[in-house]
Amino acid sequence: MGCSSSVPARSTGGLNNINNDNSATDSKDLRAKLVLLGDSGVGKSCIVLRFVRGQFDPTSKVTVGASFLSQTLALEDSTIVKFEIWDTAGQERYAALAPLYYRGAAAAVVVYDITSPESFSKAQYWVKELQKHGTPDIIMVLVGNKADLHENRHVSSQEAQEYAEKNNMVFIETSAKTADNINQVFEEIAKRLPRPTAS
C-alpha cells in the first residue's frame, strides 16, 4: 500500500530542498507551504504523486514520518505558485509529529476515503486540530479521495459538502487513480492565497 516509495525526497526533514531556489522570481510569484493530513491509506501520497509527477503507483509503501516535495503551478493571470508540500504519515504512531508539518502552513489538504466512514471521522479530527493549533486563516480543503470506487461509497457527497461549508472549507472529491480533480485541489488553494499588497 502507498505511493510514497517511488518519491525520492521522502525522508523526514527534506529541508535542504526548501530554500535553495535561487532562480529570479517575479514579484507576483507566490510560495506556499502546504500540508496533507488524513488517515493512513486514504491516498495522500498518491494525490501528491499524481500532482507532482502525473503518476499513480498502486504498489508502493506507507509514508514513514513525512515526505517533502515541491511543485509549481502557473495560474491564468500568469502568477506562478510554488507549493512546498509536506505529505504526512497517517498511521497513528506518527500523529504527534503532525504539528511539525502543519505549523506555519498556508494551506491544509485534509483527506478521507469516500469508501471509509472511519476516515471521514479522522478527517474531522484533523480539521478540529487545525482550527485549534493551525495558522490563523489557513486555507483548508476537504478532499474525498478514491472517487473512482463510487460503487463502494460510504460517505455521501452531501454530508461532506455540508461539513465543509460549516467549517469554511473547500470540498472536492478526487481520484488519484484516474487523476480526476487532482489539479483542481491545488488550483483552488492557489486562487485563495493572499496576494502581496502593492505598497
**Contact positions vs Mg ion (CB under 5 A):** 4, 44-45, 63
- DSSP of 78-133, one letter per residue? S-EEEEEEEEE--SGGGGGGHHHHHTT-SEEEEEEETT-HHHHHHHHHHHHHHHHH
**Of 4 and 181, which has the nearer Cβ to Mg ion?**
4
Strands 66-74 and 30-38 come out as unpaired
Strands 107-113 and 139-145 come out as parallel
**Of 30 and 147, which has the nearer Cβ to ligand GTP?**
147
Distance of closest approach, residue 135 Cβ to Mg ion, in angstroms: 22
Binding mask 176-195 for ligand GTP (x = CB under 6 A): xx------------------
Question: Residue 59: enclosing H or E segment and its boundaries?
Answer: none
Residues 31-70 binding ligand GTP (CB under 6 A) are: 38, 40-46, 58, 62-63
122 binds ligand GTP (CB under 6 A): no
**Of 42 and 160, which has the nearer Cβ to ligand GTP?**
42
Between the two ends of the chain, the Cα-to-Cα distance in Å is 50
Residue of 80, 95, 149, 193 that binds ligand GTP (CB under 6 A): 149
Residue 118: partners with Cβ closer than 8 Å, 6 or more residues away: 39
Q: Given phi > 0 = left and psi -120 to 50 = alpha, else beta, which region is 180?
A: beta
Residue of 83, 139, 143, 145 that binds ligand GTP (CB under 6 A): 145
144 binds ligand GTP (CB under 6 A): no
Using CA atoms, how far apart are residues 32 and 12, in angstroms rounded to an integer? 19
104 binds ligand GTP (CB under 6 A): no
- Binding residues vs ligand GTP (CB under 6 A): 1-4, 38, 40-46, 58, 62-63, 89-91, 145-146, 148-149, 175-177
